[in-house]
Amino acid sequence: MAPGNTAGVELQLAQPSFLPLTQIEKDALDLNKIEEQIEINTEWVNTENRPYFVVNLVPIRKNPATGVYENLFLLVSIFNIAK
């Protein structure tokens, strides 16, 4: 795979569990940038001619039902890679 190409890869976050942010965490963050969904970025990178799939995510969301800012503390990730 070429760097930056995520073709053929599907990532699901299954059974996520969230806890409300503490006041200290809220004070440390710019809450205006927090979305209702977990932001996930993926890409293929090559290191020493070996492809690696890199996943970056921001584990904080604004709960769409309550408006409470929450931290992701437990999840099951499911990767499907088409060959």
Domain ranges of the chain: 9-81
Which amino acid type is present at position 2? A
What angle (nearest 5°) sits at the alpha carbon of residue 17, between those of residues 12 and 19? 140
Give me the pLDDT at residue 14, please. 77
Q: pLDDT digits over 21-79, tens only? A: 999 999 999 999 999 988 788 888 888 988 888 888 889 999 999 999 999 988 766 66
Coil vs helix vs strand at 68 = coil
**Token pair listed for 62:** 């604004």
Q: Quote the pTM value.
A: 0.70
